[in-house]
Amino acid sequence: MKNFVRKLVLVMSVVILTLPIFTSTVQAETTEPEINATAGMVFDEQTGQVIYQKDADEKLAIGSITKIITLYLVTKAINNGQISEKDQITPTQAQASMTQKNELTNVRLDADKSYSVKDLYDAAWIVSSNSAAMMLADKVAGSQKNFVKRMRQTLKDWGIKGAQIYNVSGLNNSDLDSDMYLGTKDGENKLSVNDIGIIVKHVLDQYPEILQTTSQAKLSFPVGNETKEYESLNLLLKGNRDYQEGYEFDGLKTGTTEAAGESFVGTLPFNNTRIVTIVLNAQGEKADKDKRFRSTQNLVHYLKDNYERKEILKKNQSITINNKKYKTYEPVYTWLPKNYNVEDISYNVSNNKLGFTAINDKKTVKVLINSNGSSYLPFKKTDVKKTIHKKAVHKSWWDQIVEFFNHLF
């Protein structure tokens, strides 16, 4: 009997000692989404709050995700009146020939035909037409090389460092003619997940109407003497193969090259805000064309299952930061892990554009929220260079007479 009791105590001791191990294992499994990709992120586009990130600083090939920058600058040119959606553009022979290559083609372009800026813009967004993006870049900047310089400057203006941008399409330079890129013959565009997050926030903050284009599941495009329909490459759109009810994706851009693998930047309205997902180089079988979208779905399911968007402060509510009292300008919402104690939240005055607005002694500041399991995009304040106009000096009539005679001799 004594031996039995000893054995029972021993067994119970082992069970008790190993319980924390099993518990921590179960908890660990719920803290990471299964994205099966080299890098990834999910963030709130309105606030810049990052809910999950993986290897967010690593520079990776991005393929046609490049076109988010390209088409941002085209959108800007249209809005500024530099070009019109009705303008007609004729492809070069090289641009038209590219659309005949199986590995580079989607919509067919003919060198003896003109296409509207609107049709090319839609084709570049919806089915990622490389030649359409090139034609638009030529139209806006006079050449693709000049346009790449604008892309680089835009990223610098947004505080993005170390970006590798060589062409407007996202292809490897080896697939392009020499007048279609800057850099070496084998150069490939590379950005980090953080870089892409900053870009997407700038683009959607400034031109949310882009989503009217990217949400289209089909493209109608003039080919020869008829109009052909092409399916969007975004398989998460309603009506497409990977659509899931309740997850209404309306953008944004796929990216595929040998170096980039299969990547995707997605966005959808969710819980009265807008969520952005990033998956770079999804892993899996080459024949599996759904892997980047499955990883994307895992990100939003992870968000829904583990987090909730809560109102943590009401309008005109006071908070204290470094012994100073601030009053909120409007209700404040943030994503928190489920069952998170709101009392554990602290606040910091922001040094960039992100955060909610608060007022201290008539001074307005941005405030960031500190909570477990989240951070913010490294979203820098854009420096606007002011043009200094020299004040004109008006000379007296006597000074003008003296100056006139001085110039005679």
Catalytic entry in 64, 232, 350, 374? 64
- 253 annotated binding-site participant: yes
Structure tokens at 374: 């989240």
Helix runs in 289-385, H state only: 291-306
Q: Estimate the crossing angle of helix 130-141 against helix 117-126, to 10 degrees.
A: 130
Q: Would residue 131 show up in a list of annotated catalytic residues for this protein? A: no
Q: Would residue 318 show up in a list of annotated catalytic residues for this protein? A: no
Dihedral sign, Cα of residue 303, residue 307, residue 308, residue 314: negative
How far apart are the C-alpha atoms of 409 and 404, rounded to whole Å?
10
Dihedral sign, Cα of residue 231, residue 232, residue 233, residue 234: negative
146-to-140, 281, 302 alpha-carbon distances in Å = 9, 29, 42
61-to-171, 231, 257 alpha-carbon distances in Å = 10, 25, 8
Catalytic entry in 128, 131, 169, 371? 128
Catalytic entry in 54, 67, 139, 291? 67
How far apart are the C-alpha atoms of 42 and 271, rounded to whole Å?
14
How far apart are the C-alpha atoms of 156 and 322, rounded to whole Å?
33
Q: Would residue 353 show up in a list of annotated catalytic residues for this protein? A: no
Going by the DSSP 8-state scheme, the letter that residue 199 receives in this structure is H
Structure tokens at 285: 């079988």
Residue 56 near residue 41 (C-beta atoms within 8 A): yes
How far apart are the C-alpha atoms of 303 and 380, rounded to whole Å?
25
Q: Which residues are annotated as a binding site?
A: 253
Q: Which residues are annotated as a binding site for substrate?
A: 253
Q: Which residues are catalytic?
A: 64, 67, 128
